A and B are shown apart, each in its own frame.
Chain A
Amino acid sequence: DGGITQSPKYLFRKEGQNVTLSCEQNLNHDAMYWYRQDPGQGLRLIYYSQIVNDFQKGDIAEGYSVSREKKESFPLTVTSAQKNPTAFYLCASSMTGLSYEQYFGPGTRLTVT
């Protein structure tokens, strides 16, 4: 089955620890994206990548880092510098081009205490 997978579904971490969220797609999409969603707010773009070995900051990149070493994979690291890391994190992918819709993975709920 083609799709996007994210793991784990739920993640709990202590404050001060870095944590890496996994995102894998087998849709052969060039572009991949990371969003976070907080209650009462729309999705906000953290980072995106249009091609392997290249990525750009989104609207709220501070405290996050990414890598894109393979077309299929786009892991997100939430660092201890991120002030409010508890959120629902969504990974998406798409073909490149303006008219192409994005497809989302099931998300990871991160709770930092």
Chain B
Amino acid sequence: RKEVEQDPGPFNVPEGATVAFNCTYSNSASQSFFWYRQDCRKEPKLLMSVYSSGNEDGRFTAQLNRASQYISLLIRDSKLSDSATYLCVVNAIEGGGNKLTFGTGTQLKVEL
């Protein structure tokens, strides 16, 4: 089982739609969680951190379910500019170091 699993997609949605991605992680010791966005042939950029109580940033909402070991990202009112790959990232202390484990990403395509 992969440490961090995501549905690769692509998710093809019309502009204005609401879309949700889930991500599961296997390390129960994981303590920090993030969503990154990666555009084609570019570096990943932090979209938002995910807090235990859930958090919202404009059209984006992130949720964490520790019991089931998954995190989610909800995008409301999708824009064409939201088209990208969304990476689920999990952080845990390992061997004294701060280790990030990346999912392979979920591709979103927002269409007219």
Give Cα A35–Cα B44 distance, bound, in whole angstroms.
Answer: 11
Q: Which of A31, A40, A50, A104 gathers the greatest number of chain B CB atoms within 10 Å?
A: A104
CB <8 Å contact, A102 and B100: yes
For the complex, is B99 an interface residue (Cβ under 8 Å from A)?
yes
Q: Which of B45, B49, B87, B102 gathers the greatest number of chain A CB atoms within 10 Å?
A: B102
Q: What A residues does B21 contact at CB under 8 A?
A: none
CB <8 Å contact, B102 and A101: no
Give Cα A45–Cα B46 distance, bound, in whole angstroms.
Answer: 17
On whether A50 and B98 interact (CB within 8 A), knowing A41-B104, A99-B32, the answer reads yes
Q: What B residues does A31 contact at CB under 8 A?
A: 98
Partner of A101, one of B4, B8, B34, B104: B34
Give the nearest-CB partner of B45 in chain A.
A104
Q: What A residues does B99 contact at CB under 8 A?
A: 45, 48
On whether A43 and B44 interact (CB within 8 A), knowing A94-B98, A98-B98, the answer reads yes
Give the nearest-CB partner of A96 in chain B.
B98
CB <8 Å contact, A50 and B97: yes
On whether A101 and B98 interact (CB within 8 A), knowing A40-B104, A42-B4, A42-B103, the answer reads no
Majority SS at the chain B contact face: strand
Within 8 A of A (CB), among B54-112: 87, 91-93, 95, 97-105
Give Cα A98–Cα B49 distance, bound, in whole angstroms.
Answer: 12
Q: What B residues does A48 contact at CB under 8 A?
A: 97, 99
CB <8 Å contact, B98 and A100: yes
CB <8 Å contact, A56 and B97: yes
CB <8 Å contact, B31 and A99: yes
For the complex, is A85 an interface residue (Cβ under 8 Å from B)?
no
The residues of A with any CB-CB pair to B shorter than 8 Å are 31, 33, 35, 40-43, 45, 48, 50, 56, 88, 90, 94, 96-107, 109
